[in-house]
Amino acid sequence: MTARVASVLFIGEGTSDRPLVDVVADLLLDHGIEVRITAPDLTQLSSRVGHATDQKIAAAMRLFEGTPDLLVVHRDADAAGPEVRRREVVDATSVHASDVSLVPIVPVRMTESWLLFDEMAIRQVAGNPRSRDRLDLRRPRDAEGEANPKDLLRAALVAASATTGRRRETVIKRFPEHRRQLLERLDRSGPVTELPAFQRLVDDVESAVARLRVTTVQ
C-alpha cells in the first residue's frame, strides 16, 4: 500500500532542535504516513521574529506556500510547566493556523531531559567511546524532575570526553552541536518512552493521524 505523504511545517526553539521533527516523522511513518518537512530558519528573515510562540507561528505560516497538513511546534516546558506551554502553543495555533492539525512537542523541563539515558551515545558524541568516567546520568523516572537537565547533559559530555584545558573548553563550546547529534540518535523505542511528555507526543501524533485520515476521506 502506498503511504500518504503529508506536508509538515516545523517550528522549534532553535536550529539544534531540528532533529525533533525527524522523531515525529518516524512516528508518523509507523502509521503509514510519509512527510515532506519544511523547517524555516526564522532568524534569517529581514524583519526580526521574537521568541514568542505566536510570533514564530505567524511568521512561519506566512513563509509556507499553501497550507501544511501538520504543524509541529516545539516548546520546552521550562519553569512554566507543560500544561501552560501546551496551552500557549494551542492558543497561538488557533489564531494563526486554525485549519492546520497540530502536534505540540513539550519536553519537561527541557529537551535535554530526553537525552540523559543513552550513555554510549553520549560517550561517542563526546569523541571518547572507550571512556569509563562516571557520567552521573538520571533514570527515566527521575529525568522530568531534574531542575536543569541542560547543565547535567553538558557535564556528562565533558566527563565523557575526559579532556582538560583547551580541549575541555572546545567540548563545552560544542554543546549545541553535540546536543543536536544526540537528538539525531534518540531511540524513540528506548527509555524515553517512559517519560510522560514523550508518551503525550505519541498520543498527539496518533490524534493527528486520525484527523489526516478523516481529511483524506472527505
Dihedral of CA 169/123/197/67: which sign? Answer: positive
Residue 99 in 3-state DSSP? coil
Q: Is 218 a residue whose pLDDT tops 70?
A: no
Q: What is the reported pLDDT for 124?
A: 96
d(CA 208, CA 174): 35
Residue 175 exposed, middle or buried by CB count within 10 Å (0-12, 13-18, 19+): middle
Average pLDDT, stretch 100-119? 95
Average pLDDT, stretch 178-207? 96
Angle between helices 196-217 and 19-29 (to 10 degrees): 60
Average pLDDT, stretch 35-56? 87
φ/ψ (deg, to 5) at 8: -120, 130
Average pLDDT, stretch 63-84? 95
- What is the CA angle 151-87-96, rounded to 5? 110
Q: What is the reported pLDDT for 93?
A: 97
Neighbours of 48 (CB within 10 A): 9
Reading phi first (left if > 0) and then psi (alpha if -120 to 50, else beta), residue 201 is in alpha
Q: Is 14 a residue whose pLDDT tops 90?
A: no
Residue 22 exposed, middle or buried by CB count within 10 Å (0-12, 13-18, 19+): middle
Note whether 7 and 39 are within 8 A (CB): no
Segment among 2-6, 91-95, 99-103, 127-131 with least mean pLDDT: 2-6
Residue 85 in 3-state DSSP? helix
Q: What percent of the chain has pLDDT over 70?
A: 96
Q: What is the reported pLDDT for 1?
A: 39
Specify the DSSP element, H or E, that contains 102: strand 101-105
d(CA 61, CA 144): 31
Q: What is the reported pLDDT for 162?
A: 94
The pairing of strands 70-74 and 101-105 is parallel
pTM of the complete model: 0.91
Specify the DSSP element, H or E, that contains 9: strand 4-11
Q: Is 65 a residue whose pLDDT tops 70?
A: yes
Residue 42 in 3-state DSSP? helix
What cell was used for 158? 565533558
Confidence of residue 16 (pLDDT cuts 50, 70, 90): confident
